[in-house]
Each structure stands twice: as C-alpha cells, then as structure tokens.
Structure 1
Amino acid sequence: MEPAVVTRPALAAELRAIAWPPVVAAAGASGLLLVLDATVWPNGPGAVTAWLGVTLLTGAACFALDQPAEDVVRSSPTTRAWRTAVRAGGGLVVLAVWAAYAVWWRSQLTFAVPSWWAQGLVGLSLVVLGLGLCAALVRRGRSEPAATVSGGLVFAVLALGLVPVPGDVQTLDLSGTRGSTTAFWVVVGAVGAVGLVWGSRDEGSRWRGPHTGPAVHR
C-alpha cells in the first residue's frame, strides 16, 4: 500500500484556516516591545519588557491553534494531531525570533548577561505551555482559547515578578546558575508537552482516532 502523504492543497487549506489577524497583532505587539527594550529601554532579556515580549510571542503561536470551525474539520480526512502540528509550527518561528533577540543582546553587552540556554529554555517552556493549554482546551470543546491562554500567561509572568515563589525559586533569573530555576521551567515545559500530546489525540482511539489520516496522493 502506498504510504500516506499530505498533499499541498491540504496543507495550504489548513494554513488558510488559521485566523491570521490576531496572530499578526500579537506578533506585532511583541516585536514593538522587544524593539523598545533594545532601544528606548535597553535593559536586555531579563527586563520586564522582554518578558512581556516573549509572552506575547507565545500568544501569537497560541492564536494559530484557535479553531472556530472545529466541528466542521473534525470530519475531514486528517487527524487532529496533523492539524495541530501544522498550526503549532508557528512556535518554531517564535523561538527563532526570541533566540535572535537574545543573541543580538549578548553581542551588544560586555558585562555578565543572561545565559543563552536559560533564555532558550524559558522561551521553549512558555511556547510549549501555551500551545499545550490551547490544544487541550480545543479538545475539550473551547474552539478559540488563545485569548484566554495568552492573557493568563501575561498575568502569570507579571505575577512571577511580584510574588515570591515558595522555596526561594527565582523564576525570572536567567543567569543559568540556579538549579531550582531550571527545574521550574523544565516542569512548566513538561506540563505544556503533556497538554499538547493529549490535546492532539483524536477521539475514539488510543492514538489516531476514527479518521483515516491525512489526505493521500492517488
């Protein structure tokens, strides 16, 4: 039997189904904050503006998972996992933007700066958490959860900067020297990964569900 291959029209149709205006709006707001942080308020990746910037970048990826037509596309010959993977691909763009911002900042400063891997871990954990929450909520029947998830992440990041975490965990410390901080963000990313895997599963089967899989070439 010929292996299943996703057709370009199916991929293009899935990308067209994304609500791009809120994605672009969140990405634009994030870009503005990062530019301001790099010019008007040059405080670097550990600043509040930078934290809000990476959180709004995560929001841009989250909005790509909104599926107002979930009830319609559920009957299409594609799995939920495939649709989620296509839409979650924006998370890779988000991580690339955050990495470029962090690398640029490191090249501008001569004193001690946040660790590159600590910044990468935070960005990865936030993106995976946002996507995981959205995927799980879509599966639970919330077709457009991105606004709620994005707002919650912004609030959570601000709260982490104001409210001490038990155990003296410096959650916003990007020096890469605190094991407790690293463990905190690893747990955050793991929670998001569990939500993303669970939210990507189809109903009715352990893995693939009742659908036949992505469209195939004939």
Structure 2
Amino acid sequence: MDIATSKEQIIINGILHAMSITEKDVVDDFKGSISKTNKNGLSFAVWARRSDDLENQFAKHDDIKVFHIERTKLWQIDPVFDKKTGNIYLLFSDATLSQVRNKYVKKGKSTHYSVSFLLKNTGLLPMDGETVELVPFTEEETERLNLRRQKDIEKMLGKDAENVKNVIIVSVSYHEGEAIAALLQEYTANFELSSERDISFMLDTTFSGDTTMEDDGTQPVETEQPLVTLKSIKKTE
C-alpha cells in the first residue's frame, strides 16, 4: 500500500499527530480539573484530546470528515473519512488492535466496531501466510452475522455508510508515553492482513531506543481483551 497522493499524506500526518498525544500530554490538565490523586478516566481524556486534535488538523479540508461515534455512554470512536476516495481510517494502538483481532480469530465473531467496518473490505485477499482458520459457521449464520455488521455500520455512519468503500487501519506503537512506530494496514473482512506499510518515519518522535515495546494503555476498548501482541499473532498464524 503506497501513500501516493498529497491528500493521503495530509490524512496520515494528521492522524499520527493526534495519535502522538499520550497521557503525559494530558495528565497536568487532568490533575487540575479532575483529580490529583486518582487517574481513573485519564485514558479517556487522552482520546478526548485526540478527538479535538483531529478536528483541528482537518478543519480546512471540506473533503475530510472526522466522525465522532458514541459506542457507549463513556466511549466514542473518531474515524477519519476521505470523502473523495471513500477510504475510512480507524485509529488503534498496536496492543489493542492485536487484542481485538485475536479475540475475533478465536471466536469467529465480534461486536467490536472494527469487525463491523471490515465488512467493507469484502473482496480483499490475505497476504501469503496470513490466512486464518475461523470457527465454522453455516451459510445462514454467516449471513446473519454479516447483516448485523452492516446494520452496525449504518448505525454508526448514517447516510455516509454507503459512501465508505475501503477500511484502513492506522496502528501506533508506544514506549514510555511516546509514539515510536506506526503501521498502515488493510485487513480482509475476516481480519486477515491484506497489506501493510511501515509509516514510522512520518511520526514526529525523538525516541531512539528499542522499538520492541508494549502499549502504554491509553486506548479504552469495547469488550474484554486477552493480552496478545500483533507479533505473537503473526508467529502463530
């Protein structure tokens, strides 16, 4: 997957700018307005700051839309949509993406929003060695699950649902409160990796240490998640 146009570069740069915001950028404000002794809710505050930053990054671009979608009373997602190409970009930490993907592969189904969105990638083929064996479902069960996914997309996007053509995931890795690596990835409708590009060079970071790291825990998720890294998934599939 190549970042071939200046518009794509604008989108990726804007997303990475927002995803570079971590707890260290928010904690002082959090202590001043919420609590000096309790960090409950700090991770949500990080995503709230990222949401505002995305709006600021794309304010001058009429053909780029940031969705603010409430998934629960406490949590929303903020995908970025390119109206011209139909590409929608989902934002993840690498650890959370691995957890969500691993759970889907294990159960063959999931109510996570990313699984719903990936229905839009029907037709993409997995990279060599990335085919996964899912829990077998009957044709009727598969049709019912896909219908639920389609309805979830429509609920999230409303009239814009039919304009989304392709789903792209931006996955960012963190170490000690710094974004140190990033990937641009496409997955099939079955969460098989279809294409991947390292976009770490587009991050504004001064970190020069070991890039093997764990996430800093700043991304809330919808459901329980087993702690499995993306690297471990690749080794076992």
Larger Rg: 1
Higher relative contact order (CA 8 A, sep 6+): 1
TM-score normalised to the size of structure 1? Answer: 0.31
Q: Which has the higher helix share?
A: 1
Q: Which has the higher strand share?
A: 2
TM-score normalised to the size of structure 2? Answer: 0.29
